[in-house]
């Protein structure tokens, strides 16, 4: 068990015994990542803020349902993803404007910050176009950096299903962004080269 998982387990136990300050500490520790997941899932800052708040209200009310079979963060992200699914279903009929480029910093891993900022809207649009189950898997594994096992626990599906969803989601992203070569575009190497 990691230090964070141990701390979370202690805080949730304290909260269940009536220590509301322990819940505040849990919320402070996880609110940024929960918001990041919600923002990537919903692509709308206001909806993401609402979903983040709703996630923590749900956890506040239903903390006694956390069984401790997995890390608290796994359960918390499951609540966040379900909340995002609910928000998306409610807003399915309404068009969502893309995020302004100023909401997120440029990708620091990119060598060219101008190119990074230029590509961000295309990536966000491609991510938003993914079916919900693929988007959730890609956001949790690739954007949030969670292990496939953790993503499987959050989404309550087998690891093989997560692998498939991540693969298919990445493939759809690549197709949407024009990064996927057709077999005829792939250079053919000589056998003796």
State the CATH number of the domain containing residue 33.
Answer: 1.10.1740.10
Whether the model clears a pTM of 0.75, i.e. scores above it, the answer is no
In this structure, is residue 155 part of a structural domain?
A: no
In this structure, is residue 127 part of a structural domain?
A: no
Total domains present in the chain: 1
| 1 or 43, greater pLDDT | 43
- What ranges in the chain are assigned the alpha helix state H? 3-16, 20-42, 45-62, 72-91, 113-129, 132-138, 148-155, 159-177
In this structure, is residue 171 part of a structural domain?
A: no
In this structure, is residue 119 part of a structural domain?
A: no
Encoding tokens for residue 62?
A: 């239903």
For the chain, percent of residues with pLDDT exceeding 70: 77
Look up residue 140 and give its DSSP letter.
Answer: I
| 100 or 118, greater pLDDT | 118
Q: Identify the domain containing residue 2 by its residue range.
A: 1-97
In this structure, is residue 123 part of a structural domain?
A: no
pLDDT tens figures, 49-105: 999 999 999 999 999 998 888 899 999 999 999 999 988 888 765 554 555 544 444
In this structure, is residue 142 part of a structural domain?
A: no
Q: How many angstroms separate the CA atoms of 48 and 170, rounded?
A: 23
In this structure, is residue 193 part of a structural domain?
A: no
| 32 or 115, greater pLDDT | 32
């Amino acid at each position: 068990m990691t230090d964070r998982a141990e701390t979370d387990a202690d805080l949730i136990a304290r909260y269940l015994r009536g220590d509301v300050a322990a819940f505040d500490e849990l919320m402070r520790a996880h609110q940024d990542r929960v918001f990041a997941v919600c923002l990537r899932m919903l692509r709308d800052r206001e909806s993401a803020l609402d979903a983040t708040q709703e996630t923590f209200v749900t956890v506040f009310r239903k903390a006694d349902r956390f069984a401790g079979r997995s890390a608290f963060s796994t359960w918390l992200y499951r609540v966040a993803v379900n909340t995002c699914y609910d928000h998306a279903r409610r807003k399915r009929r309404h068009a969502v404007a893309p995020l302004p480029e100023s909401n997120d910093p440029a990708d620091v891993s990119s060598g060219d910050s101008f190119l990074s900022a230029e590509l961000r809207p295309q990536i966000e649009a491609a991510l938003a176009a993914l079916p919900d189950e693929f988007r959730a898997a890609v956001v949790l594994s690739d954007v949030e950096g969670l292990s496939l096992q953790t993503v499987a626990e959050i989404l309550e599906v087998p690891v093989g299903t997560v692998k498939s969803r991540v693969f298919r989601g990445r493939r759809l992203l690549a197709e949407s962004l024009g990064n996927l070569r057709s077999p005829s575009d792939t250079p053919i190497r000589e056998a003796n080269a």
